[in-house]
Structure 1
Amino acid sequence: MTACAVLSLLGSMVGLSVLGAVGEEQPAVPVGFATTLSAKRVPARFLPWIERAGRLCKEVSAPLVAAQIAAESNWVPTAVSPANAQGLSQFIPGTWATWGVDAGGGDGSSEPDGVANPFTPSDAIMTQARYDCWLADKVKKMNIGGDLTRLMLAAYNAGPEAVEKFRGIPPYPETQAYVERIVASLVNYTGDDPAERGSTFGDRVVANARKWLGTPYSWGGGGPEGPSRGLAQGSATVGFDCASLAQYAVYQASGGRTVLPRVSQLQVTVGKAVPRDEIRPGDVIGFALNGSYDHIGIYIGNGEFIHAPKTGDVVKISRIDDPFYARKPQKVRRFQ
């Protein structure tokens, strides 16, 4: 019996909500964080620059730039830290001297004013994105493995040398908290997918799941209202496991009217059974990876599903015809 099955059985016996986790061993590459920007929490005067910064390289999205600024300075252009980190993006003078760019005028105009100033929002935002892109490329060349975006954020906070030294996110509480805080707040800056406002329930299920692309897998974490710290190996991570991501997406899409069971083994027993060849976006698909339906995802169309795979990974998109999944027993359920 797998650890997941043991926990599911324990949850049934003692009446606790526990996770429907997965013990898959298949290596996979995360597709990255959601990239559509929401303007809801971005100050209007910074919005054009955030959007522009998010186009500099594929590794750095506009929501990521916004979430990072919120963590660095809470949107205060004149911020100065005790370590003399300056401006929206909190550059220390030595780093700014190397990377600072003159992107726009201090009066908010789009024309450069001849001075690269960390206290000028346009300069800070574009320098931040430029530096992030460079860090992402540098970290990629380290061949460390793991989520590139999270490693890039760690390099921004602790320096790329620390990431290389520890072959991952350094064991510094400040850096680990910094990365986790930005990942957890990304949803605040992720735009409303047009599908979320669509006419079908399935579209809304998919859109609510997509908001959390790139969010860490947390064993036992998450629920109808969003990510949370998990259990055991997930206790230090804010995120979702496979079952809680499905639970969240269906709950939010239904306006709180439909609450799925907490574990995947039960999620595949509720709702309407659907033949595999009639699957459509928003349907939940369960996989029997280890003898029980111990993994679950949300079909998004074009042969793809979104899911939270395993510890160390992130919410991502995979293909249902991937040999690892295609050869496993599957069940499809529809909830509206």
Structure 2
Amino acid sequence: MTGTLFDVAPLERPARAPRVDVVLPAPRRPDPVDDRPQQAAARAAGVPHLTDWTRDRRPDGDPARRVAFYLGCHQPRWLETAPVPLFIAAQRLAAYRRRGEDMPRPYTPYAIDSGGFTELSKHGMWTLSEDEYGGMITRFMLDMGPPRFVAPQDWMCEPWIVAKTGLSVEIHQELTVENYLYLTREFPHVPWIPVLQGWQLADYARHVEAYAAAGIDLADEPLVGLGSVCRREATAEIGAIVTALHGMGIRMHGFGVKRAGFTRYGHLLESADSLAWSFGARRRQIRLPDCTHAAEDCRNCLTYALTWRETTLNGLRHPKGAEDPHQTALRLDATA
């Protein structure tokens, strides 16, 4: 590695693969979709219809539509029916290929998470090389069409993850920059986004400088991922970090934001995602009264997921933190 930003051993890189032109499939034409889940979700949320997912950038527009909010999901088949953008981990899509199932053809916009937290928390390292990961994403795109964006193989900086890898926050940051540079060079057809990692505000500021030293001005990027925030309890601390980075002109995607945090600083984000609805339904055994599925709770229920998303978006319309009256009956987990 030439021009390393930190004092680490150089990494061996495979020979550059020959450049291949990638022809992506045309976007799927919207077929008639079963809209019963969204109708049921609107009833459960107490609204006439779900919030349109398209952006509304007008100064006097709907505050809930100023940020693109991706619903995290475990079920790739939802890509064929969901009426809102979805955020899905690469591991979930890879499981479809291993089982030999037909890949879903998305009806809705989607983005791909790298699943880095699972990789590092289980193994303390990435088990896929950059070429394996880039090739896997390319195959997904050939089967499914292009996503809105894809996360690179970033290195989270939560203290327990750093302890698992045995490295430092600074080295995690350098490895994140290296991976982004490699993937964008070798797989330029993929819509990668750079990701900022850190724990304290000073860490994130240092990572911004590391990207700049590598020739990347994050203020010029259309979207920059903000990592290591989804499992924090200190919402005010995250808000300070988001505010500072927003002040630098960085357009951010918040990975795994909590509802309380989204209500507080969501207006400063370009986009965000959350799977908290599923964790909350499982932990609190939430089941909507009208659900007919066999499961005891709604952890994999599209109707509940859409209901949770709608009430979460409504928090942007009530920035003082007042609870939506329709939310009282649901008692959705405000800490998720």
Instruction: Note whether the superposition's TM-score is higher than 0.5.
Output: no
Quickly name the TM-score band, shorter chain normalised. Answer: under 0.3
TM-score when normalising by structure 2: 0.24
TM-score when normalising by structure 1: 0.24
